Amino acid sequence: MSKRVLVVEDQEDNRQILRDLLASVGYEMIEAHDGEGALAVARAQSPDLILMDIQLPILDGYEATRRIKAQSDLRHIPIIVVTSYALGGDEEKARAAGCDAYVAKPYSARKLLETINRYLT
């Protein structure tokens, strides 16, 4: 059974990049478009890994991460936070929210895959 990755991302173009990338290595991708959606989908489908963008409508990535990590049945799912280039503080904030890894945009596709694979194998 193929691994399932939940991609939380509000930009369709970025989702398409990840869709193509993940498909190329045979992972299944499920999607959420905002922080609240991420919580709902994570609970309903219990993915193997979550790729979380930070700038999201309704509930931002930090808060969504914090809430997922606060639930005992979801806590085990590794979360990789993806931020835009930022001026300090973002990495600390992401770690404080409880994420497992941190990737800054622009990420190289190969590097991102490496990171994902570290949690899925």
Partner 1 sequence: MNLEADSTSFLGLRPLPARSRGSGDGASTKNGFLGFELRPSLRTKLLMAFLAIEMLLVSVGVIGLLSLREADQRANQVVGLQQKIEAYRQMQHNTLRQLYGVSTALAFPNETTLAVVLRQINQFGYDLDRVSFVAKDEVALLNQVREEYARFIAVVSHIVDLIRGGRAAEAKQSEFAELGPLADKLERLTNQLVNRAEADMVAGIDASRQTYVKSQILVAAVALVSFVLTLVLGHAISRSVIDPVRIIHDGLNRIAAGDFAQRIEVPNRDELGELAAHVNSTCDELQQLYRSLEEASRHKSQFLANMSHELRTPLNAVLGFSELLLDGIYGDPPEKMRSALERIQRNGRHLLGLINDVLDLSKIEAGQLRLSLADYSVEELVNVVHTSVEPLAADKNLSLRIAVPAGLPPARGDERRLAQALFNLVGNAIKFTDRGEVRIEVEAGVDSYVFSVQDTGPGIDEADQARIFQEFQQVDNSITKAKGGAGLGLAIVKRIVEMHGGQIWIESRLGHGARFSFLVPARLEQQATQT
- For residue 35, give the nearest of 20, 50, 14 by alpha carbon: 50
Is 74 a binding residue for partner 1 by CB under 8 A? The answer is no
Rule CB under 8 A: is residue 87 a binding residue for partner 1? yes
Smallest distance from the beta carbon of 91 to partner 1, in angstroms? 9
Is 76 among the residues that bind partner 1 (CB under 8 A)? no
Query: Residue from 84, 95, 117, 118 that binds partner 1 (CB under 8 A)?
Result: 84
Site for partner 1 in 7-26 (CB under 8 A): 11, 13-14, 16-17, 20-21, 24
- Is residue 65 exposed (0-12), middle (13-18) or buried (19+ Cβ within 10 Å)? buried
Identity of the residue numbered 13: D
Beta bridge partners of 83: 104
Task: Return d(Cα 3, Cα 120) in angstroms, integer.
Answer: 7
Which residues lie near partner 1 (CB under 8 A)? 11, 13-14, 16-17, 20-21, 24, 55, 84-85, 87-89, 92, 105-106, 108-110
